[in-house]
Amino acid sequence: MLIETEPTPNPATLKFLPGRVVMETGTRDFASPEEAETSPLAEAIFALGDVTGVFFGRDFVSVTAAPGVEWPSLKPDVVAILLDHFSAAMPLFRQGSAGFSVPPAESDIVDNPEDADIVAQIRELIETRVRPAVANDGGDIVYRGFDKGKVYLQMQGACSGCPSSSATLKNGIEQLLKYYVPEVTEVRAV
């Protein structure tokens, strides 16, 4: 088995491609070792001690290194863990734990029922145009709400904490949404 790697726009995050499906549906973002307790794979990666984030996408795993950690020293250890896990066909999650993510966040905005058509358009654009592009960079983006022209989105995986994420939001996603949905005035990260 060969695990390929790709850089992401976030220099702290590397995208690992095991050549097989990682998550059949959804995504899963782990921002701490405590959150990783539901997944033996994420827990093993966090156990390296030099990791601040693990993200499971459809066909990749993104890993974020701690500040000051260089990828040449961390990468072989992550690859070894991934090889062991996928070669042994181990489960991604412990029995009884939630497999996929996009859990509701406390900062979710409750959409106004009068905005249902606008929200449907926004969600459709995010699903069909934005999420596939963001996944190519080792991350995900989650809709969190629409209120008075403002769209609230959460960046995950390689996109969370990426130096270029604000440019992606403002120059890419915001412009796209404004073009197709004139009611959108701004896009904000939560």
Least confident of 30-44, 101-115, 154-168, 172-186: 101-115
For the chain, how many residues are written? Answer: 190
pLDDT score of 108: 65
pLDDT score of 97: 59
Listed in sequence order, the residues at least 6 apart from 61 whose beta carbon sits closer than 8 Å to its beta carbon are: 15, 16, 18, 22, 41, 45, 54, 55, 82
pLDDT score of 102: 43
Strand ranges across the sheet with 4-7: 4-7, 13-17, 61-65, 51-56, 28-30
Short-list 137, 127, 132, 133, CA closest to 64 = 137
Residue 187 CA to residue 190 CA, distance in Å, equals 10
Q: What is the pLDDT of residues 52-78, one digit of tens each?
A: 999 999 999 999 999 999 999 999 999
Short-list 30, 19, 25, CA closest to 99 = 25
Token pair of 151 as six digits: 């769209």
Tokens 């990682």, residue located: 22
Grouping H, G, I as helix, E, B as strand and the rest as coil, residue 176 is helix
pLDDT score of 70: 93
Question: Residue 41 above 80 pLDDT?
Answer: yes
Short-list 135, 149, 158, 161, CA closest to 188 = 149
Grouping H, G, I as helix, E, B as strand and the rest as coil, residue 134 is helix
More confident residue, 143 or 170: 143
